[in-house]
């Protein structure tokens, strides 16, 4: 499992890898949370207060990953916490995601990330789960 931040002209992005789709979506959340907060998931987990859940359905992997990350952003903007996943389960038929995680306070200031986008999006399940995404900053 791994991720790295990639440079982009006016925005930012990341690449993530995993052995499974569950790991890929966990790593994508870790990269996205780093762009949002400047903190690692381990650091955010230490600040976690209570347990939260996310459940999503989609028609394809692209829609699922964009919805997943934008849901994390939505919770930060509206409920003022970062959703830090501890368990992520991705089903391929029907395509869905279920996640459990901690709520880490994010404060009331504006976040540097505006949205997870389809721009430059590449996601695959085989031969190995991989994701590349540009994030609107």
CATH number for the domain including 20? 3.55.10.10
| pTM for the predicted model, two decimal places | 0.93
Share of the chain above pLDDT 90, in %: 78
Q: What is the DSSP string of 17-52?
A: E-SSHHHHHHHHHHHHHHHHHS--HHHHHHT--SEE
Domain membership of residue 20 as a residue range: 2-136
Q: pLDDT at position 9, please?
A: 78
Task: Identify whether 131 is preceded by a cis peptide bond (ω within 30 of 0).
Answer: no
Q: pLDDT at position 110, please?
A: 67
Chain centroid to CA 76: 12
Is there a contact between 6 and 13 (Cβ–Cβ < 8 Å)? yes
Low-confidence ranges of the chain (pLDDT < 70): 1, 108-110
Q: Which of 97, 85, 102 is nearest to 30 (CA)?
A: 85
Q: pLDDT at position 7, please?
A: 82
Write down the mean pLDDT value for the chain. 92
How many domains does the chain fold into?
1
Q: pLDDT at position 76, please?
A: 94
């Amino acid at each position: 499992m791994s991720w790295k931040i990639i440079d982009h002209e006016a925005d930012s992005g990341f690449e993530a890898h995993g052995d499974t789709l569950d790991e890929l979506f966990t790593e994508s959340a870790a990269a996205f949370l780093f762009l949002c907060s400047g903190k690692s998931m381990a650091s955010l987990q230490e600040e976690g207060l209570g347990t939260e859940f996310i459940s999503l359905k989609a028609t394809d992997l692209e829609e699922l990953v964009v919805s997943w990350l934008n849901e994390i952003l939505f919770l930060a903007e509206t409920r003022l916490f970062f959703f830090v996943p501890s368990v992520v389960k991705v089903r391929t038929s029907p395509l869905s995601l279920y996640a459990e995680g901690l709520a880490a306070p994010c404060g009331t200031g504006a976040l540097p990330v505006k949205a997870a986008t389809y721009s430059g999006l590449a996601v695959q399940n085989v031969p190995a789960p991989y994701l590349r995404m540009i994030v609107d900053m």
